[in-house]
Each structure stands twice: as structure tokens, then as C-alpha cells.
Amino acid sequence: MLTAKPNPLTFQELIFTLQKFWADQGCILQQPYDVEMGAGTMSPETFLRVLGPKPYHVCYLQPSRRPADGRYGENPNRLFKHTQCQVILKPPPDNVQDLYLQSLQAIGVELRKHDLKFEEDNWESPTLGAWGIGWQVMLDGLEVTQFTYFQQCGGVDLEPISAELTYGLERLCAFLQDVDSVYDIVWARDPKTGREITYREIRQAEELQFSVYNFEYADVEKTWEHLRLYEAECKALLDEYNAKSKAVREKKSESLDDLKRFPILPAFDLCLKCSHLFNLLDARGAISVTERVGVIARIRALAVGVAKAYVDQQSDTAAAAVNS
Amino acid sequence: MPDFLLEIGLEEIPARMIDSAREELARRTQELLTRENLAPSDSKFTSYSTPRRLAVFVEGINAAQADVQEQVTGPSLKVAYKDGVPTPAAEAFAKKVGVEVAKLGKISNPKGEYLAATIQKKGRSAAEVLTELLPKEMAGIYWAKNMYWRAGKPERFVRPVRWITALLEGHVVPLEFGGIKAAAKTHGHRILSEGEIPLSKPENYKDSLEKAKVLVSPAEREHRIRKALDAATRTIPGLRWREDEDLLRTVVNLTEFPSVIIGSFEKEYLSLPEEVLVTVMRDHQKYFAVEDASGKLAPYFLAVLNTDSDPDGLIRHGNERVLRARFNDARFFWEADQKVSLRDRVEMLKNVTFQKELGSYYEKAKRMAHLVTIGGADFDHPQHKIKRNALYEAAWLAKADLTTELVKEFTELQGIVGGLYARAQGLDPAIADAIYDHYKPESMDDASPRTLESALLALADKADSIAGMFALGLQPTGSKDPFALRRQANGIVKIIVEHKLPVDLRILFQVALVGYKGSEAEKKFTQLDKYSESVSAFFRERLEFYLRDVRGFAYDEVNAVLAAGHDRVTDALDRVQAVSEVRKSADFEPISIAFKRIKNILRQANEVGKAPNGKFDRAALEDPAEKQLAEAVEKTAPVVAELRHKHKYADALAEIAKLRPTLDTFFEKVMVMVDDEKLRSNRLLLLQKMLNDFSTIADFSEIVTEKK
């Protein structure tokens, strides 16, 4: 068998190595955000942090749950829940592409022996009111990373621009270990006994059961109800924040603290809940044509509302209005 | 004379945008240098590009603009001197041009006498001009999509600019673009080369970069790729690679130093339809397909690499692994999709949106079935009877593949997959073929649907979309055509012509609109009053495009023919062919002039309130010339009508042309606008009759003639 290296990284070593690499480049290491979401981009570490002027460099893992992608643990390449390693560089350094290539070398890819191409792939999420320009990075014909210069997020034009690197870890690891199924990935190797623990042992049951739930068991009525409840609460919070902010700007209120302590971050959690529940209903086949467009618009309104409120809360103008 | 080199170093430019941007940069540079008198006529411009750079190399430019003498006009003498003494105005002018007052000249022009001076204007150096003006040209390059990257967002460009090389002979031209100052160095291949590459002279550019593993000439890369494809294919006897111009252009623009590997896949995948395998290879992996001597797909592929070699076979191995996974997916989808038949999938179309306002694909399928039943009623070809039942069923099933996993994964295979499934599920081959081809033609170069049934289905699909959009008021405007309605209308024209369908577009689009009756969509139809008119104008434009740009007819012939009607595409084509043929005859141009004259006379008569009234009365004619004309018209009219009816347009036109001598005599001898009202009216009526009877094939007055 041909492999890139005699001892390719295990899944967990791959994670350590990438995190160490980006920490050495000055990134904050964050933990995965503990709310279900479809992509690492939706984490507040990206969605909110790219807004506003404050520089921020962060690296984190994010389990990404996509109910419709579940294959009952049977498909060797498709997962309901896969792991993204997400790096945000705000603003991006001039040598951002070189840094990325170094990260590949760090995980054991000898670039001289491989074929690497940056192919146009612009990323867009209408639900998040977000889009960017970039590439899919192809390594020997395999898409290993999505590389995006964010231009807009939550309907807000970004300044500065952030670079986002998203590594699909299962896919990358299967490539490094030269296995044909993600379930054959070696997750860990016991340092004493050398016993290997595979991705299958750790995750396959979860893939199966969540596929069964997502496609067969999820209670459609209750899921709709959850969606409505989370949406209503998120909306109520946003409405209240906007009223308070308006009062401050019009100098009818002096309570800047009221704004600063206002729970916009929790409002975003509620928005994430809605997005996941929508994905679940979609996988369940419970959303009709007419509803679909409407629900996407509703979630987008929440995401855009949170982004605007977040920018407002962070901005100095709110403070200035009070201090003047 | 010095040479000049400009290179813009970028992060990877999208392959699809490179060719036009390279040409535009060269063109803009040439125009700038010409405009600034820096490019003698024998300067040579060469453009280069790779994914990471756009460059232009100019041989032989002027080091500086020539000095020029310029005459400057000052104040008039009346103002410049008072009693022979220079005024402050004269002195100010003298100061401005740097000449003593006493040495100023004089010029006189129609307005009077003025002070004047001849000044030497020093030409600017090429470096100065380029530094100031070239960055503006660089910024002006058109990109289909561009981005911000720098702090403060000062500019947008296709991707971040990372270096600029600008050399005039051995000197850096200190221009600045995208926050980068030009320098005398460039960068080699991302991986095969290290560090910066110093560049001392423009003419070393190509060779220096070749040493740094970058072939800057796209033509050279294409040549190398072709040779490498040949060489890799030859390693396995009896095979050849499938020519694919688009793919070749793409890989040329994805590589700086290309090489090729041949990989293989398991024979068992060949049981999947070839269309699926080729799509995966070409569209998703950018691989060339390989076939055997009989043209059958062979279990190999060719990948174009952006590196020089694959010594350990790692790259081949990796690509094979990816392709296997992709084929596995495709096979999984292919088999899973078979569990639900196309017929059962029709119901599922209720959950697939066609267009926000126009409802689901289920409703569209229903309308298409209606349209092929009603609209297809008269289309029986003499040699080929329509298989009506097959066509009706195909219309219902045409969109069902949108619910399959295979089409969700490979959207470009819509229609094709439906056709393949129909065949696999044992449906009538006429149904399968109709579904398979119904998105065709995708462009003017693409073939029309092959069978009559598929042609009618394609027609119905496109007409339904256009009808719905126009009724909503969403017709294309200017460069905006988000639903590609122009492409679909071009498709309709092409299909009608190539299948010789006797379609009347006016009727087709009335029937198409009936399909929406009683639907939710109908409530949103706000543009119904303008519907017929705007669809008709839209198709006239498409037909004009087709006849002129695709078929190459002269624009005035096309105008003449379309002015006499454009609802029947095949008929318009026959007529323009006839006009084009008859135009060469001696009588044609003169008769066109005569018709123009007739039209003018009638128009002028209308304008001065002398429009004819009453009925034409042959007995009231006086002059022998007009009697002769009336007789000729009466004799010719039924002959022309008969020939027109038989679609013998050229013969009909020849008959009309024969009227020329009679008509010429008429205009020589007869004055139309006489004072006698009855006589005048009668003559006008005769001309009117001529125009009516003989403009049914083409409006001759649209023909552009040499003499006025």
C-alpha cells in the first residue's frame, strides 16, 4: 500500500498538530461551540467575531451536524456529523496562503510529492446573509480545505476582511492514512500496547442512531413547535434590544449598561437552534415548497438581526451617544 | 529602444477569467502607450498569464515622449495694449508662457487679432507616464467577480495582489497598485521554486521564470499538456484520450508547470452509464476520459498536474482514491434511485420549487403535458407521425429526475439521468429519448433534440418558462437575464428551424398561457395586458439575432423580412433566403427604391391630410402609364399570392421585380399629387394596393440601397 508517510497521524494527532500549528501563529485556541450547527462558520467564534473592527485570530474544532447528510453509518464518505477545523484570521496576514501550505506540511504532507491547486470556489450562505470569495484547495484531486475571504456576514459589509480556512478533518485524515472509508480512520493508538482505536468504534453507532432519528423518528409536530418557540424568544430579545438602543441613541435613556449587558449572545444561540431544527425538519421531509422559502427567510431575519444588534452593541457610537 | 515588462502577481485567479483578463491588460497597455505617443507602430506586445500572474511584455517603446511645440493664444490686442503700452493682461500672459512681452507673437483669427506665443512642451519620460497612468489601467480590468482584502478597503480586484514587477530596460518603473510597489523581482512556482526571482531585464522574463518552473505562455502550456496527454495515453496500447477544448482551456489556466499522469479505475464501474462517469471525471475532477479504438470508454483517466512529476506514484494513487469514492457515490445513488420509479416521483415534484411565483415542478409538468397535447396538435411531420402517448407521458415525467439523488449530486445531468432511468425502467424508448434531450440545445453550438417528440417536449418546457416569466413581468432587460430566457428563446428558434416545425409563436404562447389558468401563479400575473406584445417583440429580437448572427443574412434583408411578419420562424427563414437570392438580380435594387418612394408618397400624403379615400376605380385612371401599371399589378397580384401560398418565395419575388419597367414609366410620366382630388386619391389607392399586395414576403423599403 502506498502511503504518504510510514506513520501517518492518528485522528487525534491530526487535531493536536493543527491546533499547535495555528496556536504558534498567534491564534486563540477555542473549544467547539456546544450548540448544534451545520458548519463551523455558524459558530459565534466566526459569525460574530468577524463583525466589527477588532482583530481576532482563532482556531477551533466544530462538529458540524447536517441531518440530511446522514447515511446510517453505511456510506464510507458521508456523515451526519463531521468535524471541521476552522481558522479565522482577522485581518489576514499577507502570507496567509503560505501559512496554510505550512500547515499542510506540519501534518505530514510533503508538498514536493503532491499536486496542489487553488480552484475558484466562492462560498455563500443565504441563511446567514454571508458570502465570501475564495477557493477549494485540491490536493491530488481531493478537496481538503475551503479557503474564503469573507466579504459580508449577517448582511453586514465586513471591515476588516477575515480569511477563513475550513479543514474537513475526516476527509483529510483518511487521505493521510490512505484509507477508503472514514470508519477505518485510526482515531488513537495506545502508546503502550500499540492498539488502534478506529473512527468506527467511536462514531458509527452515533451515525446510525442519529440517521434513524433524523429520518424516521423526529416528531415533526414537536420539532415545528420547538422551532416556533426558539424563534419567538429570539425575536423578542432582538426587539427589546433594538428599542433600548434607539432610546440610547435618541438620548431618552442613559443606561449604556443596559445595552452592554443585554443578552445578544444568547439570542444568537436561539437562532442557531432554529437553524438546526430547520435542517432536521428538512431531512425529515416535513417542509413543503411554500414553507421552505418562508422558513429560510425567517431564520435569515434572525441571523441578520443578531448581527446588526451585535455590531451596534460593540460600536463606540452607542457609548459616545451616552457620554456626550 | 527600450523594452517594458509588467507582471501583476496575484493569489490564484479563477481559471475561467484568466484569458480575457490577460488580453485586456495587453490591450489597455497598448492603448495607453499609443495614446501617450510612447509606442511606435512597430512596437511588439506579447501577453502572458498563469493562475498567479498576468503579464505584458512590450518590445521597443520610446524612452520619452517627443518634445512638442505648442501655440498658445493670449488676450486680444485690444485688451493687451492701451495706447501702445502693454497692459497687465499682456504681462500676465507673457509671464505665463515665459516670454518677454516684446517677443510675443500675434495671430489673427476670424474674431480678431490676438497675442500668441510658441512654447516648447517637454515630452515626459515613459517611466513617468507609466508610473502615473498604468495603475489606472490595471484597476480598470473587468472581473466577473471581485473582492476586497486590504485594510480600509481601498480597492477591489479579482484576488489579492501580492507583487508587481515593472521594468523599463534595467530600471524599475516605480508604479504602485493594490498597495504594492513594483520591484525588479518575481516569484516562481509555488512549490517547485523557492524565494524571489531577481529580474534584471524585461527580455529575461520568460526564461527566468521557466528556470523557476513557470511556463508563462499559455500556448506553451497547452502544447506541453497535449504532448503529455499523448505520451501518457500511449503507455497503454489501443487507447486515445477524448478531445475536450473547454477542459483543456481550464487546465491550462490551473497550472504553471503542467505534467500528466494516467490513472485507472476498476472495470466494474463501466457498468454505470457513460454520461455519469464522464461527468464525474470531467466536471468534478477535471480529468480527461480515455476511450478504446471503438470509442468505448476505457477504465482509465488522465489528470493534469500543476507539478513536474509524480516519482513515487503518490499523486496517481491519491487521484485514483478520490475517483473511486466519487464513482462509489454515483453507483450508490444510481442504485438507490431505482427503488422509486420515475412515475412515482412525479408526486414528489410537488415539493420541488420551479420558481417562487410560478409554483412547483409538479405544476410545471402538468402544464407541459397540456402544452404538448394542445400545442403539438398540428405538428405531424409528413414522414413522421408524432407518438402522442409517448410525448404526453414524457412531459409528465420530464422533471421527475430532479428528485433523484444522482441529479441532486450532479445537477448538470438533469434530463440525461431522467432519460437513463426511463430506459432502465423499461419505458418506451420514445419517452426515454424525449426526456434525455429536453434541455437541449443549451447554446447555439449545442445540437437540437434528436427526435420529433423530444423537440416538442423541449419546446413546451421552454415556452412554459418564458410564458410564466413574461406574464409576471420578469422578462430580460439589458444585461440582466437571471432566468436565461434569451438562451431558452434561442433554443426555441433553433429547434423550430432544425425540425422544420410549422409553429406559430403567437399561438404557441397563447396556449402556453392557458396552462396557467386557475393556478396560484395566475393571481400574480400583473403584466397580461402587455404579454402578447412583449413576447412578440422578444422573439422578433431573437429571430433577428438568429438570422443575422447565426445564419449570416444581411441585416437589411432580415429587417425587410421580419417587417412582413415574424410569428412563423421557418417561414421567415424561407423568405429571407429568397430575398437574399433574388437580391443579386438586376431589378431588385431599383424596385426596392421604387417601393421606398411609394411609401414616402403615401406617408407624405397622410401628413398633409391628403390620405386617399374611397375605393380604387380603375376606370377613372387617365394616363396610359398608370393604366399599364394597374393592369400589371392586377395580373401579378394573384400570381404572387399563389406562389407565396406555395412557399415559392424566390419566384414570387422575381414576379414582383418584373414590375420594375412599368413602375419606372409610371413615375416618369405620372404626377401623383395632382390637385384633382379624385384623380389623386385614385393614384394613391393604386400605390397603396401595390404596397399591400407585394409586401407580404418582405418589406422592400427596408432594403438599404446605394442610391437615395
Mutate to test the interface with B, among A104, A117, A148, A177 (most CBs of B within 10 A): A117
Q: Per the CB < 8 Å rule, is A117 touching B254?
A: yes
Q: A286 at the B interface (CB within 8 A)?
A: no
Number of cross-chain residue pairs from A and B with Cβ atoms under 8 Å apart: 115
Q: Per the CB < 8 Å rule, is A77 touching B313?
A: no
All residues of chain B having their beta carbon less than 8 Å from the beta carbon of residue A149 are 147-149, 160
Exposed (0-12), middle (13-18) or buried (19+): which is A215, by Cβ within 10 Å?
Answer: middle
Name the residue among B160, B318, B324 with its Cβ closest to that of A175.
B318
Domain A11-216 part of CATH 3.40.640.10: no
pLDDT in tens, B344-354: 999 999 888 88
What distance in Å separates residue A144's CA from the closest CA in chain B?
11
* B149 → chain A, closest CA residue: A161
Q: A180 at the B interface (CB within 8 A)?
A: yes
Which CATH number does the domain B343-552 belong to among 2.120.10, 1.10.1740, 1.10.3210, 3.40.50?
Answer: 1.10.3210
- B196 near B208, Cβ under 8 Å? no
**CA A88/CA A62 separation, integer angstroms:** 13
Q: Per the CB < 8 Å rule, is B315 touching A113?
A: yes
Q: Is the peptide bond before B449 cis (omega within 30 degrees of 0)?
A: no
For A221, the 3-state DSSP assignment is helix
For B575, the 3-state DSSP assignment is helix
All residues of chain B having their beta carbon less than 8 Å from the beta carbon of residue A114 are 307, 314-315, 318
Check pLDDT > 80 for residue B267.
yes
Interface predicted TM-score (ipTM):
0.93
What distance in Å separates residue B149's CA from the closest CA in chain A?
6
Check pLDDT > 60 for residue B691.
yes
What distance in Å separates residue A115's CA from the closest CA in chain B?
6
Check pLDDT > 70 for residue B567.
yes
Q: Per the CB < 8 Å rule, is A141 touching B303?
A: yes
Give me the sign of the Cα torsion angle B644, B647, B653, B654.
negative
Check pLDDT > 80 for residue B602.
yes
Q: Per the CB < 8 Å rule, is B318 touching A122?
A: no
Domain B579-702 part of CATH 3.40.47.10: no
The arrangement of secondary structure in A218-323, i.e. its CATH architecture, is Up-down Bundle (1.20)
Across chain A, mean pLDDT equals 92
What distance in Å separates residue B549's CA from the closest CA in chain A?
32
SS3 content of chain A, % helix, strand, coil (to 5): 50, 25, 30
Name the residue among A122, A140, A285 with its Cβ closest to that of B318.
A140
Check pLDDT > 50 for residue B708.
no
- Of A146, A171, A157, A136, whose CA–CA distance to A41 is shortest? A146
Question: Which sequence spans correspond to the domains of chain A?
Answer: 11-216, 218-323
Q: Per the CB < 8 Å rule, is B315 touching A293?
A: no
- Of A14, A21, A29, A45, whose CA–CA distance to A99 is shortest? A21
Mean pLDDT to the nearest integer, B469-483: 86
Which of A177-181, B384-388, B473-477, B555-559 shows the lowest per-residue confidence on average (mean pLDDT)? B384-388
Q: A111 at the B interface (CB within 8 A)?
A: yes
Helices (H) and strands (E) in chain A, counts: 10, 10
* The pLDDT of residue A317: 54
For A286, the 3-state DSSP assignment is coil
A56-65 and A28-30 strand pairing: parallel
What share of chain A has pLDDT > 70, as a percent? 94
CA B601 to chain centre: 40
Q: Per the CB < 8 Å rule, is A178 touching B350?
A: no
All residues of chain B having their beta carbon less than 8 Å from the beta carbon of residue A288 are 350-351
Which of A45-54, B21-30, B439-448 shows the lowest per-residue confidence on average (mean pLDDT)? B439-448
Check pLDDT > 90 for residue B513.
yes
Q: For A89, phi and psi rounded to 5 degrees?
A: -120, 105
Check pLDDT > 90 for residue B377.
no
> Which residues sit opposite A133 in a β-bridge?
A149
- B10 near B52, Cβ under 8 Å? yes
E-state strands within B193-266: 196-198, 239-241, 259-264
Task: Provide the pLDDT confidence category of residue B606 given band limits of 50, 70 and 90.
Answer: confident
Q: What does R_g of chain B's alpha carbons equal in angstroms?
A: 35
- B434 near B457, Cβ under 8 Å? yes
Residue B637 grid coordinates: 397580384
Task: Provide the pLDDT confidence category of residue A290 given band limits of 50, 70 and 90.
Answer: low
Q: Per the CB < 8 Å rule, is B353 touching A289?
A: yes
Mean pLDDT to the nearest integer, A263-284: 96
Question: Which sequence spans correspond to the domains of chain B?
Answer: 4-64+125-211, 68-121, 218-337, 343-552, 579-702
All residues of chain B having their beta carbon less than 8 Å from the beta carbon of residue A113 are 310-312, 314-315
Q: A117 at the B interface (CB within 8 A)?
A: yes
Q: A289 at the B interface (CB within 8 A)?
A: yes
Name the residue among A4, A113, A151 with its Cβ closest to that of B147.
A151
Name the residue among B307, B332, B360 with its Cβ closest to that of A115.
B307
* The pLDDT of residue B79: 86
**CA B704/CA B708 separation, integer angstroms:** 9
Name the residue among B51, B254, B312 with its Cβ closest to that of A113.
B312
What distance in Å separates residue A140's CA from the closest CA in chain B?
5
For B8, the 3-state DSSP assignment is strand
**CA B305/CA A28 separation, integer angstroms:** 36
Per DSSP, B547 falls in state I
pLDDT in tens, B612-654: 888 888 888 888 898 999 999 999 999 999 999 998 999 999 8
All residues of chain A having their beta carbon less than 8 Å from the beta carbon of residue B319 are 115, 140-141
Residue B220 grid coordinates: 506553451
What distance in Å separates residue B237's CA from the closest CA in chain A?
26
